[in-house]
Amino acid sequence: MLEGLVAWVLNTYLGKYVSNLNTDQLSIALLKGAVELENLPLRKDALREFDLPFEVKAGVIGKITLQIPFYRPHSDPWVICMSQLNLIIGPAPPQEYDEVREREAERKQKKQLLKALEDKWKSECEQKGESYWYSVTASVVTRIVENIELKIQGVHLRFEDDFSNPDKPYAFGVCIKNVSAQNCSKEPAQKLIRQKELEISEFSVYWDSECTMLGDLPSTEVQERMSKCMQSREHQYIFEPVCASVLVRRNPSKEPLRSRNTPRIECQVQLEPLSLRLSQVQYQQIMAFLKELDRREREMRFRKWRPKLPICGNCRLWWMFAINANLNENREQRRQGSWEFALHRARDAKLYTSLYFQRLKGLTLSPQEESELERIEDEQTLEELQILRETVYVSFRKHEEIAEAS
């Protein structure tokens, strides 16, 4: 059971970011009290779900270790260790607009979010029906979460850009030598207080206005070159390496606080003197980077109408592109403001709530009814569908309460 839970967590939360994740040998490793994963290459599409105009050029996690207290999992600490996290990202090359692919990706994302909303509602219903066992399970899970200790060594996140201006490539990055989050060794004066210590060693931010691109190197060399680059002090630092420690005190009591002098959460931060430097060249490149982000965002928004031909000799196409890009929002608002559109949406809302209510009751829908559900979910936005489903959930609860009372 425990190895199944760990395998599910690794596949769900780590599998979509790394390649070659093998969880078949977890049962043997768990009996020894530790799970070790080494040399995990990061997926090229790891940033796709964040909808950013960037791509992973190279990346690898040197080692991940999960130490599990097999015999006392609810009282002893669970230790998660990660070392040599190196990631290089860069601007994603512009892609041609594919309407079918875009709609399919949007439909897939919408279905995932709607499924998560439905699963959340079902779990709340199960908690209500099994409140005692849920409270016991939640108590155990809370104790496990409070005992989790995190240790990370050697983090180097780097952005390289030789696409915007090939004559002047630049790179900026974040380096962290060590990060640890663990329970405080000193017992607090009040036993109800929970304490966590966060230690950060040699945190730095650099912006190199002239540099060598590391993302184009073979994958076998990236790990070594990134480690050497992190250890080097020849960077143009914005924040020079600094250490910090944070002590977090939390009062988990369910009772309301009786004094304003005793906060629910209290933090004590100790920070070394911080050095901030910014040259004129760095400032100019930062502003150019922000402008490029804004331009890429507008390009993504209007690429549906963007011609694939050059401006020279195709002026009419580009003028039509400018007109459609600016008038599309006004046309859409005018269409949605008509009585015909309002009547169509009202009928769809009534039909959708009725069919979805039947699905929640476990009734089998006909192929035509399933097709109508699919059509409405394709036409309406996620926010509109969430409102309709919340309405159905409230109605479903009321029907169940009436049935239980009778």
Note the pLDDT of residue 139.
Answer: 58
The Cα–Cα gap between 258 and 252 comes to 14
The Cα–Cα gap between 284 and 288 comes to 6
Contact (CB, 8 A) for 165 and 95? no
Backbone angles phi, psi at 98, to 5 degrees: -120, 105
Site of tokens 């369910």: 254
Contact (CB, 8 A) for 211 and 200? no
The Cα–Cα gap between 391 and 119 comes to 16
The Cα–Cα gap between 158 and 336 comes to 45
Note the pLDDT of residue 134.
Answer: 47
CA-wise closest residue to 42 among 289, 169, 215, 173: 215
Q: What are 74-90's pLDDT values in tens digits? A: 667 778 888 899 999 98
Structure tokens at 75: 């009282």
Note the pLDDT of residue 385.
Answer: 92
Note the pLDDT of residue 28.
Answer: 47
Q: What are 151-204's pLDDT values in tens digits? A: 999 999 999 988 777 888 899 999 999 999 887 766 555 566 778 888 999 999
Cα distances from 178 to residues 7, 155, 175, in angstroms, run 27, 8, 9
The Cα–Cα gap between 226 and 382 comes to 41
User: Residue 218's Cα: distance from chain center in Å?
Assistant: 28
Taking 70 as the pLDDT cut, the residues of the chain under it are 1-13, 20-33, 49, 70, 73-75, 126-145, 185-192, 406
Contact (CB, 8 A) for 216 and 241? no
Note the pLDDT of residue 333.
Answer: 87
Note the pLDDT of residue 132.
Answer: 47
Note the pLDDT of residue 120.
Answer: 83
Neighbour order of strands in the sheet with 237-250: 34-41, 54-67, 78-91, 148-161, 170-183, 194-208, 237-250, 265-271
For the entire predicted model, the pTM comes to: 0.74
The Cα–Cα gap between 244 and 289 comes to 29
Residues in the chain: 406
Q: Which residues contact 150 (CB under 8 A, 6 or more apart)?
A: 80, 179, 180, 181, 182
The Cα–Cα gap between 83 and 65 comes to 9
Output 381-388 pairs: Cβ under 8 A, ≥24 positions apart.
382/110, 382/113, 382/114, 385/110, 385/114, 385/352, 386/114, 386/117, 388/349, 388/352, 388/353, 388/356
